[in-house]
Chain A
Amino acid sequence: MLPSYLTMAAILFCIGLYGALVKRNAVVVLLSVELMLNAVNLNLVAFSKYGVVPSLTGQIFSLFTITVAAAEAAIGVAILIALFRLRGTVNVDEFDKMRR
């Protein structure tokens, strides 16, 4: 059972990574980051059930992650809104302030 969970998580992670690297819309990038986090959660849960040493720790850990991810999403969206107000766009290509 474990390999199919892991494969599923890997596919999810890769989709998230692809989105985070390629998408222009900052909101979609934020969503992709969430996708990667959830892929990790899936791994944690799968290992807690089918791992070499099954224990409840993985599931509790994933609960923590979900909580932190919620907070992170809130902050991320807040920053995005602030950015949108400042620049009038959510296109990440135009956020190249680090270059200057």
Chain B
Amino acid sequence: MEMYSQAAWLIPLFPLAAFLVLTALGRSFRRAGVFIGSIGSLAAFALSLLIVIDRLGANAVDYNYAFDWIRIGDYTLRIGFEVTNLTAMMLVVVTLVSFLVNVYSAGYMKNDERITVFYGYVALFTFSMLGLVLSDNLLSLYIFWELVGVCSFLLVGFWYSKPKARAAAKKAFIVTRIGDAGLLIGILLLFWYMPNHALDFTTIQSVFDGQTGAITTGITTLIALLIFLGAVGKSGQFPLHVWLPDAMEGPTPISALIHAATMVAAGVFLIARTYDIFQDSAAAMETVAYVGGFTAIFAATVALAQNDIKRILAYSTVSQLGYMMMALGLHSLTGGIFHLFTHAFFKALLFLGAGSIIHAVHTQNINEMGGLGSKMRVTAWTFAIGALALSGIPPFSGFWSKDMILTAALETNPLLFVVGLAGAFCTALYMSRLFFLVFMGKPKSAAAGAHESPATMTFPLIVLAVLAIIAGFVETPWNGWFGSWLSGEPEDAHGSGVVIIASIAVGLLGIYLGWLVYGKGSVSRTVIAERLPWLVKLLERSYYVDELYAAVIVKPLKAIGAALSVFDEYVVGGVVRVAGAATSSVGRLSARLQNGQVQTYSLAAVIGFVIIVVAIVGRRFLP
């Protein structure tokens, strides 16, 4: 019955083949690039969809295939792939968003000289992400984890002639590397302590699930926290979130694919995949919950004061990822994954919509836009749907998933419930601010000549908008289908009237306030800026985290680097230069000896002979 699951290894190969073909073809076949990239991801999506449909029935068995990869002494390293309901869902999300982004880029990147390179990178990324999802052990997951990081680097720095893009690409790579180092250490620790050094998820699950006591609580907490560090880096959680807003220097379809829907969700996916380790350690779970909750409210407040449309969405992504982490930390695996699922659609929608706007007005500053609603109807309507879903307004998908997270918070941790509600209010406020400033009001300078984007760009918007509406219905307070499908155990559909009313109330309140200030204009926009200028400044500069890192970490490191380079120049280089000078002067001396005079040669021979005689005779007189 799982005949499609057995063929799951084929899914990553489609984009890989597309990548190889595109790389081989070079830059000449521009249309072919679009075609091959889209076909590759469409084929992957079709197969993923078949797998999910195949597994929709109850009691779908996890399919795992592994083979011996490396044999070292007694130890055998096996790699392979595994299809569970969680990975099947991720497969569909990744391939669908990837396909839509491929289609969208045909319009967005149309005039770019390196469009085939772009499609090649996207295909490589899709391959890596699918490999990450399908991995059945932590080692191959780590390999693909790094590979998506490389693709992110390549695509953020795609327009490498811009210095800011170069800096952002480097920042993204280096900051996530901090988290990756933690993940690697975590994997090594796990390898060391696991029975038989097994690293595959099935064994990890049975070891930690059975409470066998094979690994002590302290070590479990340490491993869990190190794995979480990897997730913090990849998923842009505080304090390693700084790279994600800067990564918006990349092309907008990339922001939608990598930095909203798929790669940044890899951290959440990783924790879900190793959830048994986390569940064994209460301390680790609490850390995950608090870091997530803090990130959620922190990034949401920053988003309130940003003026760059993509940076607002980036901070929003950081905030929503915080919600997912919080849900995982609050023992609600379903809530976290469910929010990942819905967020992937509506955030990709919002980013692609933002791309459509940028494509039309050639600016990213929302203060220079305005009145776009009548000129770009499709973009405006789909963007509104995405914004409502993000703000948590029923019946859009974001409401159901956020509701589930808030319910979990209310049950276990009231503090985080309040934080979550406050974050939801900020979310609704900044989204309404964004929407009213961009689409309503009078057209400003940049919006004058705007017109709707081509069909290749609006089609993905419509598809994602439909999904942003309906995706939430798989799990509602009265229907726990998604949770029971995901975890295999019937989860009681816990709906709480308080949560629903509260979350709708803060959402509507946020939108209403946004409308008052930015739509109707009955409240002056500068009312807060006049009273509390420092607060606005603080939020605009995103709490000066970048400046803090620059002062505390970057500057000292650069100073150490400068000191070391001086040391290298004068001490190491000095020794090298002295050695070189000594050798060449000896050479010059001995070259002067080669003057063709037999007498000089004989003299040298005599001197050598005398030295030998003195040495031999002299030894007798030594003690």
Which of A's residues lie within 8 Å of B, judged by CB?
Answer: 17, 20-22, 29, 92-93, 95-100
C-alpha gap A99/B592 in the complex (Å) = 10
Assess whether B606 is in contact with A98, with CB atoms less than 8 Å apart: no
Which of A92, A99, A100 touches B599 (beta carbons < 8 Å)?
A92
Assess whether B596 is in contact with A99, with CB atoms less than 8 Å apart: yes
Assess whether B598 is in contact with A92, with CB atoms less than 8 Å apart: yes
Which residues of the partner chain A approach B596 to less than 8 Å between Cβ atoms?
A: 95-100
Can you list 16 A-B contacts with CB-CB less than 8 angstroms, sorted by A residue number? A17-B606, A20-B602, A21-B599, A21-B602, A92-B597, A92-B598, A92-B599, A93-B597, A95-B596, A95-B598, A96-B596, A97-B596, A98-B596, A98-B598, A99-B594, A99-B596
A93 nearest in chain B by CB position: B597
B599 nearest in chain A by CB position: A21
C-alpha gap A85/B602 in the complex (Å) = 25
Which residues of the partner chain B approach A98 to less than 8 Å between Cβ atoms?
A: 596, 598
Assess whether A21 is in contact with B597, with CB atoms less than 8 Å apart: no
Which residues of the partner chain A approach B598 to less than 8 Å between Cβ atoms?
A: 92, 95, 98
C-alpha gap A20/B602 in the complex (Å) = 9
Which residues of the partner chain B approach A20 to less than 8 Å between Cβ atoms?
A: 599, 602
C-alpha gap A9/B606 in the complex (Å) = 18
C-alpha gap A74/B597 in the complex (Å) = 23
> How many inter-chain contacts with C-beta < 8 Å in the A-B complex?
26
Prevailing SS type, chain B contact patch = helix
B600 nearest in chain A by CB position: A21
C-alpha gap A98/B595 in the complex (Å) = 8
Task: Tell me the smallest distance from the CB of B402 to a CB of chain A, in Å.
Answer: 91
Task: Tell me the smallest distance from the CB of A91 to a CB of chain B, in Å.
Answer: 11
Task: Give B296-309 as 1s and 0s: 1 = Cβ < 8 Å from A's Cβ atoms.
Answer: 00000000000000
C-alpha gap A20/B594 in the complex (Å) = 18
Which residues of the partner chain B approach A99 to less than 8 Å between Cβ atoms?
A: 594-596
Which residues of the partner chain A approach B599 to less than 8 Å between Cβ atoms?
A: 20-22, 29, 92
Task: Tell me the smallest distance from the CB of A95 to a CB of chain B, in Å.
Answer: 7
**B residues 403-433 touching A (CB-CB < 8 Å):** none
Q: Is B603 an interface residue (CB 8 A)?
A: yes
Assess whether A96 is in contact with B597, with CB atoms less than 8 Å apart: yes
C-alpha gap A21/B609 in the complex (Å) = 14
Task: Tell me the smallest distance from the CB of A99 to a CB of chain B, in Å.
Answer: 3
Which residues of the partner chain A approach B595 to less than 8 Å between Cβ atoms?
A: 96, 99
Given A93-B597, A95-B596, 17 other A-B residues pairs in contact with their CB atoms under 8 A = A17-B606, A20-B599, A21-B599, A21-B602, A21-B603, A21-B606, A22-B599, A92-B597, A92-B599, A96-B595, A96-B597, A97-B596, A98-B596, A98-B598, A99-B594, A99-B595, A100-B596
C-alpha gap A99/B596 in the complex (Å) = 4
C-alpha gap A38/B336 in the complex (Å) = 106
Task: Tell me the smallest distance from the CB of B471 to a CB of chain A, in Å.
Answer: 90
A24 nearest in chain B by CB position: B599
Which residues of the partner chain B approach A29 to less than 8 Å between Cβ atoms?
A: 599
Task: Tell me the smallest distance from the CB of B193 to a CB of chain A, in Å.
Answer: 73
**B residues 562-612 touching A (CB-CB < 8 Å):** 594-599, 602-603, 606
Task: Tell me the smallest distance from the CB of A96 to a CB of chain B, in Å.
Answer: 3
C-alpha gap A29/B603 in the complex (Å) = 14
Task: Tell me the smallest distance from the CB of A37 to a CB of chain B, in Å.
Answer: 15
Task: Tell me the smallest distance from the CB of B617 to a CB of chain A, in Å.
Answer: 14
Which residues of the partner chain B approach A21 to less than 8 Å between Cβ atoms?
A: 599, 602-603, 606
Task: Give B68-83 as 1s and 0s: 1 = Cβ < 8 Å from A's Cβ atoms.
Answer: 0000000000000000
Which residues of the partner chain A approach B594 to less than 8 Å between Cβ atoms?
A: 99
C-alpha gap A96/B595 in the complex (Å) = 7
Interchain residue pairs A-B with the least CB separation, the first 5: A99-B596, A96-B596, A98-B596, A21-B603, A21-B599
Which residues of the partner chain B approach A100 to less than 8 Å between Cβ atoms?
A: 596
Which residues of the partner chain A approach B603 to less than 8 Å between Cβ atoms?
A: 21
Which residues of the partner chain A approach B602 to less than 8 Å between Cβ atoms?
A: 20-21
Which residues of the partner chain B approach A93 to less than 8 Å between Cβ atoms?
A: 597
A22 nearest in chain B by CB position: B599
Task: Tell me the smallest distance from the CB of A52 to a CB of chain B, in Å.
Answer: 20
Task: Give B180-196 as 1s and 0s: 1 = Cβ < 8 Å from A's Cβ atoms.
Answer: 00000000000000000
C-alpha gap A20/B603 in the complex (Å) = 10
**B residues 103-140 touching A (CB-CB < 8 Å):** none
